[in-house]
A and B are shown apart, each in its own frame.
Chain A
């Protein structure tokens, strides 16, 4: 009996490795295809942006830059709107993210405290806004009434707190800051605000990093608020400029100052698009490798509670 079993186990093992070999091959093939599907378009855009205008317009670029040139980037940095947009976007990102993070943490900590009277009701007040909202027009009327249209504030105040991020921070604080710490501090006569600043904030660095990144990316990538709240060109963030150039195909030739460039305008305008895409992604690409783990962590914390 025993030997029979052993034999059958051994037999199966040999058969299984064969099967597994095929299985693993298929897995690797699937993932490699996936890698190509995601990676190739990105590489194509990057390569095209470093090619010459004529190569781009002739459709010669596939994987690698053809006739390496930096003309696309030169055009991007000579484009006045793009520079203004870049500056504006950075301003909205900086100012907006600071407001976001401060307010989010200020809301998250009290709501993480079980001994806060009325905690449940206040939390409900927050979460209800996740499933119902006044909608586009009432928001617009409000921003208009507050005289925020066409100001920097329209870009940073109406979305000052994301309830989702607040819940992420709240969940983190609740599960990472032991109650004993609070009790010990209270015995020493430490007030809540002092405790929040001296203990909770330093211990929540990980989650603060996560929500800072979420907010920053959201500011950098959003265009719709700017579309409805701003109509002064000087205030436009980069994404609106990108929308005009990439999607609506509006390239103002007068914006390209070098008269020589006007000759190759058509090729250049296509090349400009590729370079613009790359330039607009630079801030994200620079931080991405360092913070990928934080982003993933955010998803995990967020998934604990809806």
Chain B
């Protein structure tokens, strides 16, 4: 007994020494990691610590630590705010609409591009459709204002020729906000998002195509029976990834498209956080509470989605 205990102790000690030795041996690697880690802790984890002001009445003079606790006051304030349902509704609609509008388009682009045999045409389509991805949101929204201008824009001109009268100002119509936001996003990213499906398609075994051809399958049938199923796993992963960011929508673009007319449709949680916290009131605690509410929902969503995907397929994010 004694001997055995000694032996396990010995192993334990040796293992510990071993670990210390390994750490010491890797000191140069830790040296490399040092600055990035300091950055990470200062700029990512200290703000997480700062999130406590959501539960405090933040006072600049007292600082984060010194401010008094107020519990859930700001959360309750948000829940009882008349804006609450509106913000949630808009956030969900925009997110869901973007999801179902964007995904099929990029899948279709990948499937059709994959059928193209003329390399030059394929290259041309790829080069042109990937390009908008690199346009900044400011320029994108600026382009929208110009093109959809009812007087000088292409949209206005075409409308005048077709209907003989001045076009309605589509950027100013509140109800059109969702469509403008979502479809401009599709325009910008559909090509880029198709890359990943195209990559999945290029990995399909060519023998499958050959045997399908021998069996007399048409190209359409090949697309539906081979191409589509072979990218389904990728589609599902992308869907999961997007769901994980469900509450994080492109508020930077929304902020640019917002005006006093369409606020009813365009105000989402994150733009509201910006307004409450920095632009208008400077109400730090309240804004942090709303932001935290958003982040927590997101965290829950991504965890659930990951669990589900782990069970359903063997795809998991971590």
* A220 in contact with B40 (CB, 8 Å): no
> Which 3 pairs, one residue from A and one from B, show the smallest C-beta to C-beta distance?
A134-B47, A246-B142, A138-B50
Stretch at the interface among B2-10, B87-95, B131-139: B131-139
- Judged by a CB distance under 8 angstroms, whether A97 is at the interface is no
Q: With a CB–CB cut-off of 8 A, which chain A residues contact B31?
A: 193
Q: How distant is the Cα of A122 from the Cα of B38 in the complex, in angstroms?
A: 12
Stretch at the interface among A153-161, A173-181, A202-210, A253-261: A153-161
A38-B132, A142-B47 known; A117+B28 contact, CB < 8 A:
no
Q: With a CB–CB cut-off of 8 A, which chain B residues contact A183?
A: none
Q: With a CB–CB cut-off of 8 A, which chain B residues contact A111?
A: 33
Q: With a CB–CB cut-off of 8 A, which chain B residues contact A288?
A: 131, 134
Q: Nearest-CB distance from B252 to chain A (Å)?
A: 5
Stretch at the interface among B75-83, B96-104, B285-293: B285-293
Q: With a CB–CB cut-off of 8 A, which chain A residues contact B278?
A: 136-137, 140, 228
* B136 in contact with A220 (CB, 8 Å): yes
**In the complex, which residues 5-47 of chain A have their Cβ closer than 8 Å to any Cβ of chain B?**
9, 12-13, 16, 19-20, 23-24, 27-28, 30-31, 34-35, 37-42, 44-45
B132 — nearest CB in chain A belongs to which residue? A38
**In the complex, which residues 274-310 of chain B have their Cβ closer than 8 Å to any Cβ of chain A?**
274, 277-278, 284, 287-288, 291-292, 294-295, 298-299, 302
A38-B129, A270-B152 known; A115+B22 contact, CB < 8 A:
yes
A161-B36, A306-B317 known; A20+B139 contact, CB < 8 A:
no
| B26 partner, pick from A48, A115, A242, beta carbons under 8 A | A115
Q: With a CB–CB cut-off of 8 A, which chain B residues contact A217?
A: 134
A116-B29, A135-B295 known; A59+B153 contact, CB < 8 A:
yes
- Judged by a CB distance under 8 angstroms, whether A247 is at the interface is yes
- Judged by a CB distance under 8 angstroms, whether A125 is at the interface is yes
A38-B191, A39-B128, A192-B26 known; A9+B216 contact, CB < 8 A:
yes
Q: With a CB–CB cut-off of 8 A, which chain A residues contact B154?
A: 40-41, 44, 62
Q: With a CB–CB cut-off of 8 A, which chain A residues contact B256?
A: 243, 247
* B157 in contact with A281 (CB, 8 Å): no
Q: How distant is the Cα of A127 from the Cα of B109 in the complex, in angstroms?
A: 31
- Judged by a CB distance under 8 angstroms, whether A77 is at the interface is no
Q: With a CB–CB cut-off of 8 A, which chain B residues contact A9?
A: 216
Between A and B, 12 residue pairs with Cβ closer than 8 Å are A38-B187, A106-B32, A117-B26, A125-B40, A133-B44, A135-B291, A135-B294, A136-B277, A138-B46, A243-B138, A273-B142, A306-B317
Q: Nearest-CB distance from A168 to chain B (Å)?
A: 14
Q: Nearest-CB distance from B285 to chain A (Å)?
A: 8
- Judged by a CB distance under 8 angstroms, whether B232 is at the interface is no
Interface size for A (C-beta < 8 A) is 96
| A20 partner, pick from B112, B157, B219, beta carbons under 8 A | B219
Q: With a CB–CB cut-off of 8 A, which chain A residues contact B48?
A: 132-134, 138
Q: With a CB–CB cut-off of 8 A, which chain B residues contact A74?
A: none
Q: How distant is the Cα of A57 from the Cα of B36 in the complex, in angstroms?
A: 52
Q: With a CB–CB cut-off of 8 A, which chain A residues contact B131?
A: 38, 42, 288
Chain A window 98-134, contacts with chain B (Cβ cutoff 8 Å), 1 for yes, 0 for no:
0000011011011101011110001001110101111
Q: With a CB–CB cut-off of 8 A, which chain A residues contact B292?
A: 135
* A136 in contact with B273 (CB, 8 Å): yes
- Judged by a CB distance under 8 angstroms, whether B53 is at the interface is yes
**In the complex, which residues 218-240 of chain A have their Cβ closer than 8 Å to any Cβ of chain B?**
220-224, 228, 239
Q: With a CB–CB cut-off of 8 A, which chain B residues contact A262?
A: none
Chain B window 249-288, contacts with chain A (Cβ cutoff 8 Å), 1 for yes, 0 for no:
0001001100000000000001001100110000010011
Q: Nearest-CB distance from B316 to chain A (Å)?
A: 8
